[in-house]
């Protein structure tokens, strides 16, 4: 049973990896029934769902298919959830929503402000709360929980439960699709376990903490100066000392992989890519939104394949 904090009813007054091929086919088949909706709506069903990003829009569409209409607020790679400003269309979608899925952890706080203004009676699923991770702990919280596969399994259960409470007649379908999706996510976890058990002592570097949950689950050690990745993520100036330290890490051959956010193109990121190329370090691009035409499990499986290829080089 999910803890009460994982969701709430919102009102105007409430401020090469051993991954099972069959599972992937099942997930893809389910996903084909729905749509992450871009920044518009997908599906033709009666349940209205608003997701703050198309990552969560895709997950709910995979579970519910045509039973839902999904609006994914952010799908454009040029949109930054940290600085997103809503519009009247989004406000209306939130007002009419039966279910809202937000990342939480400070990532997409705009949606709470918009919900307070829009009114309505949507149930809100906060993925960080569902994950059980504590955003109030010591240090900078990594809010990119969609790279944490156990958290996504918990999210699937929460979505299935909520959709079933709205449309009890479709509950068995939601459960079957959710089980297929969880099987696909379990395949991803099996792949991570395989990497962790065979890779040995591997150090990596990042430009931003976007993929850090995945890299740490693979057993990798992140050598990036924390101040460097935080400054790049926040779009603030990187100190000369942190910049030089990061360049030295890439030059001395101590890391095998540089994971970089391909949706940001600042000078520091470009410098790191150039340094990695000179040093012969594999550079793996990661994203905060789902690429067009992709679905969650296949998208994440692609990262595992890139990690394996980098380690085998």
Q: In this structure, are 10 and 39 located in the same domain?
A: yes
The model's pLDDT over 151-162, given as tens digits with 9 standing for 90+, comes to 999 999 999 999
**pLDDT digit string (tens) for 85-103?**
778 999 999 999 999 999 9
Rounded-to-integer distance, Cα 209 and Cα 211, Å:
6
201 and 297 share a domain? yes
Please state which of the ranges 37-41, 134-138, 189-193 shows the lowest mean pLDDT: 37-41
Mean pLDDT, residues 75-88? 77
The last residue of one of the domains, among 142, 171, 192, is: 192
186, 193, 231, 252, 312 from 197: Cα distances, Å: 16, 6, 32, 25, 14
Same domain? For 67 and 150 the reply is: yes
Within a 10 A sphere around the Cβ of 137, how many other Cβ atoms? 8
Percent of the residues in the chain that have a pLDDT greater than 70, as a whole number = 84
- Segment 267-300, tens digit of pLDDT: 999 999 999 999 999 999 999 999 999 999 999 9
Pair (173, 197) in one structural domain: no
Q: What is the CATH number of the domain that holds 90?
A: 3.40.50.1980
* CA 194 and chain centroid, separation: 22
Residues 162, 126 share a domain: yes
In the chain, the DSSP E strands lie at: 7-9, 41-42, 47-53, 68-74, 99-102, 123-126, 203-206, 221-222, 257-261, 282-286
Section 11-22 average pLDDT = 36
- Among candidates 71, 11, 68, which has minimal Cα distance to 37? 71
CA separation for the pair 52, 55 (Å, rounded): 9
12 pLDDT band, cuts 50/70/90, is very low
173 in the same domain as 301: no
Closest to 58 measured CA to CA, from 78, 35, 82, 75: 35
Strand 41-42, strand 68-74: pairing: antiparallel
> Are residues 236 and 181 part of one domain?
no
Please tell me the total number of residues recorded for the chain in this structure. 313
pLDDT at 164: 98
Angle made by CA atoms 164, 165, 168, in degrees to the nearest 5: 55
Encode pLDDT of 187-212 as tens digits.
999 999 999 999 989 999 999 999 99
Domains in the chain, number: 2
């Amino acid at each position: 049973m999910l803890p009460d904090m994982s969701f709430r009813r919102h009102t105007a007054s409430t401020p090469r990896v051993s991954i099972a091929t069959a599972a992937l086919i099942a997930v893809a088949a389910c996903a084909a029934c729905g749509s992450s909706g871009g920044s518009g709506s997908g599906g033709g069903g009666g349940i209205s769902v608003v997701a703050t990003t198309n990552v969560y829009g895709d997950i709910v569409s995979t579970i519910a298919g045509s039973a839902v209409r999904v609006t994914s607020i952010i799908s454009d790679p040029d949109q930054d959830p940290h600085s997103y400003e809503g519009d009247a269309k989004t406000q209306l979608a939130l007002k009419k929503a039966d279910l809202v899925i937000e990342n939480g952890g400070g990532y997409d706080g705009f949606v709470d402000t918009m919900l307070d203004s829009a009114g309505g009676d949507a149930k809100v699923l906060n993925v960080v709360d569902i994950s059980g991770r504590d955003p109030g702990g010591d240090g900078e919280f990594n809010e990119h929980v969609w790279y944490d596969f156990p958290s996504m399994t918990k999210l699937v259960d929460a979505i299935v439960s909520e959709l079933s409470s709205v449309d009890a007649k479709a509950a068995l379908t939601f459960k079957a699709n959710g089980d297929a999706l969880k099987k696909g996510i379990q395949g991803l976890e099996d792949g991570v376990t395989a990497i962790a058990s065979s890779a040995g002592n591997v150090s990596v570097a990042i430009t931003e903490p976007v993929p850090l949950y995945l890299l740490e689950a693979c057993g990798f050690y992140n050598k990036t100066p924390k101040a460097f990745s935080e400054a790049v993520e926040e779009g603030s100036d990187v100190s000369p000392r942190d910049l030089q330290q990061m360049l030295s890490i890439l030059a001395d051959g101590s890391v095998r992989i540089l994971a970089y956010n391909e949706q940001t193109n600042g000078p520091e990121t470009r410098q790191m890519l150039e340094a990695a190329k000179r040093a012969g370090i594999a550079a793996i691009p990661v994203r905060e939104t789902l690429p067009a035409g992709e679905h969650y499990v296949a998208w994440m499986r692609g990262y595992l394949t890139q990690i394996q290829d980098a380690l085998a080089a």
